[in-house]
Amino acid sequence: MLIVVPMSFSTAPSLEFPPPGFWLGYYRRFFSDPNWTGPVINSFLIGLGAMSLAMLFGAPASFALVRHSFRLRQLFRILVLMPLIVPHIVMALGYYSYFGSLGLVQSMQGVILAHACLAIPVVVLTLTSALANFDRRVENAAANLGARPFTAFRLVTFPMLRPAFLVAALFAFIQSFDETVIAIFISGRDSATLPRQMFNSFQMEADPAISAASSLLLAAVLIGIGARCRKSGQEPTRAFARLSDRGLTPWYCRTGWRQLPRRAPAP
Amino acid sequence: MVLSDRMAATPATRARALTLRAVSKSYVPGQLAVERIDLDVRPGEFVSFLGPSGSGKTTTLMMIAGFEQSSSGVISVDGREIDAVAPYDRNIGMVFQNYALFPHMSVAQNVGFPLRMRKVAGGEAKRRITDALAMVGLADFAARFPAELSGGQQQRVALARALVFEPDLVLLDEPLGALDKTLRERMQMELKRIHRELGVTMIYVTHDQTEAMAMSDRIAVFNRGRIEQIGTPGEIYFAPRTRFVASFVGDSNLFEGRCGTQGIVEVEDFGELATGRADLSAGSTVNLLVRPETIRLRRDGVSPWPTTSTITVEEMVNYGDSYLLVGKRSGREIRVRVPSIDMPELRRGAECGIEWNPARVHVIAAERPTS
């Protein structure tokens, strides 16, 4: 971090430390060269796609794992968490040969599928731990008061677990965003992700733009996690409820960016 | 108090009867958690389920609420069977042990939740929420969130939420368990007041016998998945039908003995005890219950009662208003409650005469061995 970030502001024509001078030219190049902007866009698209898929499969899997006991549950858990254990390079080889026969190699869909598979364990780990601590009596209370199962989920379970869902989605996105090995194997030129482009560029020319890319990648991840930490200090849903109580539901309340002073419990 | 006035005016329309017929529940095949419960709760009655943990009282409550499915038997409200009705269609209010408030909703939204589910909206909903909160004394707390309330206040919100939709029944699962003693006693009185004002049928689960005594019209004493006895607090206390009820409710002295003639019971190692009951069949085995507060310390002079005895004092506990005296006689423990104002100077190891009115001795027929 201390080496790469200064290098990205360097005047040197290749990677060199300490940097001989200060220059923003590599950032300008990074944002104007389609060889860099293309992968950035790809990385975002793939990250969002993988995140959506991982949530789509990971969330129901988490509910099943925590709330139902069924035969082979332990086996199912291991299966779901497998991508966490298997070395990426091994999976990459597997994807390469299997996706080859499906025509998915060098396509964005292929990378999304592979990354979703990697992100599912992250989602499942986050959600199962949140669900295990979730008091189901609150759901019983909702049912008792007249809420059908889906209504109870929509109005009670999901809002209460919303922070966990957000964390799970964010981690799934980051998992995909900085994954390199599989991307190198199966993303093509048109679907190259940012880490893959950085790897290529490093091999070919040691272009200092790569240090600019690294710095930006780092910044992106830090901002994502920083935002998460800032938010976990508040209770976004409280603010939302308070405003909707008064008939106000501005869009930003739904994501919960407002912070309210915590009132002390009344005597 | 608008709500209470309005509801008190029509208690008959709101109060429902609850009937359980041979209701059983088993989690593990061959093992019954609840065994053939028969129960008739009259409209507007306050009935407590009292028993130790694992006695089946909460399971029975959960079956009434619909969170547990009975293995056999019939549960009905006003003659309408509800076994096949989903919890969300039963129209039964419940106050959970840990309150189970929705932390992401304000007090008003919590209380308004059942109305929202019933499509009651606008002014009508607002009025009912306000009335319900006023009834539990939280009129000014509508905009607060559960985390901003004390335990007692959360309890009141849970109660308001369980009452606001005018349920057929209200179930309370050890609702006061987490509160300290003073607050608990205040809430007991409030609950009784609300029950009186609304006239709604209430089922109250507790393992605290004084609580059950203080609040109930009738108490159902649970033990090992069965109801051992159901009756008024007075019946349960002074005329328990089984040894278990006698020992679980209140403090007790129990003697097992063999009946002689004229109501005399021969207790091994103790002697003959008079019971004032002439109808005991000679030779049968019975249990005798003598409540500690019916025993008096013997003064000088002639006792009006034939039942006198002597104990060796082993322990004295001061409860402020009374003393508990634990004495021994031929290896048998005798407990005596003495009002503090009548308590003489006594030492451990002292001999002490006791006496009691035989009419106060309750005879429990020996139980048939249960399989």
Query: In the structure, what pLDDT confidence band is assigned to residue A228 with cuts at 50, 70 and 90?
Result: low
DSSP code, position B89:
G
A257 shares a domain with A222: no
Q: Does the structure show a pLDDT above 50 at B9?
A: no
Is there a domain that residue A14 lies in?
no
- What is residue A109's predicted lDDT score, i.e. its pLDDT? 86
Percent of chain B exceeding pLDDT 90 equals 53
Burial B257-274 (b: 16+ CB within 10 A, else e): bbbeeebbbebeebeebb
pLDDT in tens, B233-256: 999 999 999 999 999 998 899 988
A110 occurs within a structural domain:
yes
How far is Cα B7 from Cα B310, in angstroms, rounded to an integer?
58
Looking at the fold, whether A145 and A184 belong to one and the same domain comes out as yes
Q: Does residue B6 carry a pLDDT above 80?
A: no
pLDDT tens track for A144-165: 999 999 999 999 999 999 888 9
Pair A106, A189 in one domain: yes
Question: Quick check: B165 contacting A, CB < 8 Å?
Answer: yes
Sheet containing strand B307-318, edge to edge, reads B295-297, B351-356, B307-318, B322-329, B332-339
Which option is the CATH number for B2-243: 3.40.50.300, 1.10.3720.10, 3.40.718.10, 3.40.50.620?
3.40.50.300
User: Looking at the whole model, is its pTM more than 0.80?
Assistant: no
- Listed range (A98-102, B24-28, B31-35) with the worst mean pLDDT: A98-102
Total structural domains in chain A? 2
* Cβ contact, residue pair B102, A141, below 8 Å: yes
Q: What is the pLDDT of residue A246?
A: 43
Confidence of residue B20 (pLDDT cuts 50, 70, 90): very high
A85 plus A212 within the same structural domain: yes
Are residue A135 and residue A195 in the same domain, yes or no? yes
Residue boundaries of the structural domains of chain B: 2-243, 251-365
Q: Is residue A134 part of a domain?
A: yes
Q: Is residue A121 within 8 Å of A83, Cβ to Cβ?
A: yes
**Tens-place pLDDT, residues A24-83:** 778 888 888 888 888 888 888 999 999 999 999 999 999 999 988 888 888 998 888 888
Report residue A229's pLDDT band, with 50, 70 and 90 as the boundaries: low
| A54 falls within a domain | yes
Is A150 domain-assigned? Answer: yes
Name the helix (H) or strand (E) containing B130: helix B122-135
Residue A238's pLDDT is 47
Which residues on neighbouring strands pair with residue B307, listed in sequence order?
A: B356
B100 has a chain A CB within 8 A of its CB: yes
Write down the mean pLDDT value for chain A: 79
Q: Is residue A23 part of a domain?
A: no
- Cα-based angle A73, A74, A77 (whole degrees, multiple of 5): 85
What percent of chain B is predicted at pLDDT more than 70?
94
Which of A48-62, A88-102, A117-131, B156-170 is least confident?
A: A88-102
Q: List A residues 104-143 in contact with B (Cβ-Cβ < 8 A).
A: 135, 137-138, 140-143
Give the range of the structural domain holding residue A151, as residue numbers without chain letter: 36-233
**Cβ-based neighbours of B4, under 8 Å, separated by 6 or more:** B131, B135, B194, B197, B198
Whether A144 and B108 lie within 8 Å, measured CB to CB: no
Which residue is listed with tokens 């299997």? A98
CATH number of the domain at B251-365, out of 3.30.1600.10, 1.10.287.110, 2.40.50.140, 1.20.200.10? 2.40.50.140
Of A156, A160, A238, the CB nearest to B145: A238
Instruction: Average the pLDDT over each of A8-12, A124-128, B283-287 and give the range with the smallest value.
Output: A8-12
Residue B40 in 3-state DSSP?
Answer: strand
Both A183 and A267 in one domain: the answer is no
Domains B2-243 and B251-365 share a fold: no
Q: What is the pLDDT of residues B83-108, one digit of tens each?
A: 999 999 999 999 998 889 999 999 99
Query: What CATH number should be reported for the domain holding residue A88?
Result: 1.10.3720.10
Residue B167 contacts residue B95 (beta carbons within 8 Å): no
| Beta-strand pair B226-231/B253-259 | unpaired
A150 & A111 share domain: yes
Residue A27 domain-assigned (yes or no): no
Cβ(B356)–Cβ(B296) under 8 Å?
Answer: yes
